Structure 1
Amino acid sequence: MRKNRLKLGLFIPPFHPLYENPTLCIERDLQITQFADEIGMSEIWFGEHHSGGYEIIMSPELMVAAAAERTKSIKLGTGVITLPYHNPLMTANRLCQLDHQTRGRLLFGGGPGLLTADAHMLGLDARESRDKLDEGISVISRLLAGEWVTEKTSWYDLNDAHCHLLPYNGPGSLPIGVASAFSPSGGTLAAKYDTAMLCLAATSPDGYDALAGNWKIACDTAEKYGRTMNPAVLRCATDMHIAETRDEAMDQARKGFEVTQRYFANQTAHVANEGMDVTLEDLIERGEAVVGTPDDAVAQIRRLEEKVPDFGTLLLLDKNWATFENKKRSLEMMMRYVLPEINGDNVSRQKSFDWQGEHAEEYFKTFQQAAQRAFEKHAAQTEADK
């Protein structure tokens, strides 16, 4: 049994084809968020990107605000705000307002920025982004905790900066997460600032190999600060689409995969020059993706548990491989079949079922005797009333 229950979340960058209506694509992202809330998923994250044509959420804060009006309990995350692109005081102020609008359901995720093209348009050196992420997380966490900050760096100059509206549940209450992929920087920063880790490449070949190592770096670094990392704060992101059979799942996902792959092939760093030669079967064979049945999803989660036992949340990367209805069915099956298996939700029910079955003959005889006794009592009473 797990020490903590695995939760299920959704990570929406998003990935929308160039031939679809962008307005309706964004609407669909909000609709899937509403559905995720209805079936009891734990959290959903919206990305920030500014180039490339597919990832057309430019402001995760706007998506969170809209989603808050359509949902009741699901937590809503910025996944992630690219901190080097924004003044940290302005970011902290937007977060505080959003935390109130969501009634404390906001999750703040920060990152250095994945798309070099975005940094290029802003005249920024992407090679400096991780250092800026460190600075940004530092000052924003202090502002959210209610501190006043006077600080000058190469990219911001703050004088008596403070949030005049603090988070919904009080200073320092807003959960923070740091993006982590291959390099050790994410784990180091998570430990340094006592935040969650968003492992956004957990099952890619390099990301899977680095997962345990980066977690160890986080744990070792936290120890230096006198803290202990809780695996419950670790989010592992992966590609999964499931159906009743593997063949059905493959048929549902293949076209969408090929469309999305065109976007990755347009960014050589994402596919290591493999381009459109990569097939869905390739991803499945090397363990990068699951396109199959609930049992396949369970097996993939067990693989991740080998790297970090008791990691807290499985984040499904929403790449729009399947139609809207098939995607909803896949999410429902994850909640209905996969999570209960991982969390042992039905262990007690199974024990009770087995125990009842072991005594079935005995109990049935008792039932028959009780029924016979009732008939005899009724007959005796009828005779006495004559």
Structure 2
Amino acid sequence: SGMTLAGKYGIGVLSIGSMAAEGITALGTQWGFAEDAALEFGSSVDRSDWRVLLNWHLAESKDLARSQAREGLQRWHNEYIVGTLQRPGTTAYSDPDEALEAVCGGAAKGVVQSAVVGTPDDLVAFIQNMYELTGGFGTAIGFVHDWANPRDTANSWDLVARYVIPEINGYTTKLRESQKFVSTERSAFNRAGEAILDKIMSNEKAADALKVTAKQGKNNAAENS
């Protein structure tokens, strides 16, 4: 298998079985094959070199995402997964909502879902859950499909770039810490403001300039009221 070869030669691997619920469930076990092969052949493998292929379509709300992708997802499943790949155990869906429920509705039932049709927050939660389920991997790769029209598909990828990638990679952690500090540690900012004001008032010219600035501010406020 691909995992065994990756372990034998100490190379990275791409898991495409993660596009199906059964494949997602087996991912944790699959990585064990790579580790066993690495041990047998005296090489090494690193989870950071493991790529996992996932399906998603995002929009500003879950309802909007579902309305954009429902018909395309059904067609993709019936014509590509069932008709072209002829994946064992798959059957065609007669209704778009049936396809959505089967592919994306697993989480509500405590079952592993195989794709996300929803918001950036939904995808973040899905990837984090996948990370825990597998024991860790290096990169989540999105499968490019045509569930939605080109405009909505482009917007989906834009949402991934603007919201999902920063969150998953921890780029927003310091931003949140800063926001929390500013909102909860007001005493530190008040002391700084008082120190600045004392410094200004100790200089006659600076104090006069402050009075002019304050007067202008009051006049502007009165004009805008």
Q: Does 1:329 align with 2:150?
A: no
Q: Percent identity?
A: 28
Q: Spell out, residue by residue over 1:101-124, the C-alpha distance to the aligned partner (whole angstroms, 9 max, x if none).
A: xxxxxxxxxxxxxxxxxxxxxxxx
- 1:230 aligned residue: 46
1:204 aligned partner, one-letter code: A
- 1:131 aligned residue: none
Question: Per the alignment, do residues 196 and 268 of structure 1 end up closer, same or farther by CA in structure 2, a change over 3 Å counting?
Answer: closer
Q: Does 1:199 align with 2:15?
A: yes
Q: Spell out, residue by residue over 1:160-197, the C-alpha distance to the aligned partner (whole angstroms, 9 max, x if none).
A: xxxxxxxxxxxxxxxxxxxxxxxxx1111111222211
- 2:121 aligned residue: 295
- 1:51 aligned residue: none
Q: CA deviation at 1:321?
A: 0.7
Higher RCO by CA contacts (8 Å cutoff, separation 6 or greater): 2
Question: Per the alignment, do residues 378 and 271 of structure 1 end up closer, same or farther by CA in structure 2, a change over 3 Å counting?
Answer: farther
Q: Spell out, residue by residue over 1:277-317, the C-alpha distance to the aligned partner (whole angstroms, 9 max, x if none).
A: 45112101230110001111012112211233331111111
The structure that is helix-richer by fraction is: 2
Q: Secondary structure at the match of 2:14?
A: strand
Q: Secondary structure at the match of 2:39?
A: helix
Q: Secondary structure at the match of 2:26?
A: helix
Q: Does 1:311 align with 2:128?
A: no
- What's the C-alpha RMSD, in Å, of the aligned pairs? 2.3
Question: Per the alignment, do residues 271 and 251 of structure 1 end up closer, same or farther by CA in structure 2, a change over 3 Å counting?
Answer: farther
Question: Matched residues in 2 for 1:367 and 1:239: separation?
Answer: 51
Question: Per the alignment, do residues 268 and 369 of structure 1 end up closer, same or farther by CA in structure 2, a change over 3 Å counting?
Answer: closer
Question: Matched residues in 1 for 2:116 and 2:206: separation?
Answer: 67
- 1:212 aligned residue: 28
TM-score, length basis structure 1: 0.47
Q: Does 1:359 align with 2:185?
A: yes
- 1:274 aligned residue: 91
Q: Is the 8 A contact 1:294 1:337 kept in 2?
A: yes
Q: Is the 8 A contact 2:28 2:135 kept in 1?
A: no
Q: Spell out, residue by residue over 1:79-130, the C-alpha distance to the aligned partner (whole angstroms, 9 max, x if none).
A: xxxxxxxxxxxxxxxxxxxxxxxxxxxxxxxxxxxxxxxxxxxxxxxxxxxx
Q: CA deviation at 1:233?
A: 1.2
Question: Per the alignment, do residues 366 and 268 of structure 1 end up closer, same or farther by CA in structure 2, a change over 3 Å counting?
Answer: closer
Greater Rg by CA: 2
1:238 aligned partner, one-letter code: L
The structure that is strand-richer by fraction is: 1
Count of paired positions: 198
Q: Secondary structure at the match of 1:239?
A: strand
Question: Per the alignment, do residues 381 and 362 of structure 1 end up closer, same or farther by CA in structure 2, a change over 3 Å counting?
Answer: closer
- 2:82 aligned residue: 265
Question: Matched residues in 1 for 2:45 and 2:203: separation?
Answer: 67
- 1:242 aligned residue: 58
Report 1:69-218 matches (<5 A). Answer: 185-218=1-34
- 2:220 aligned residue: none
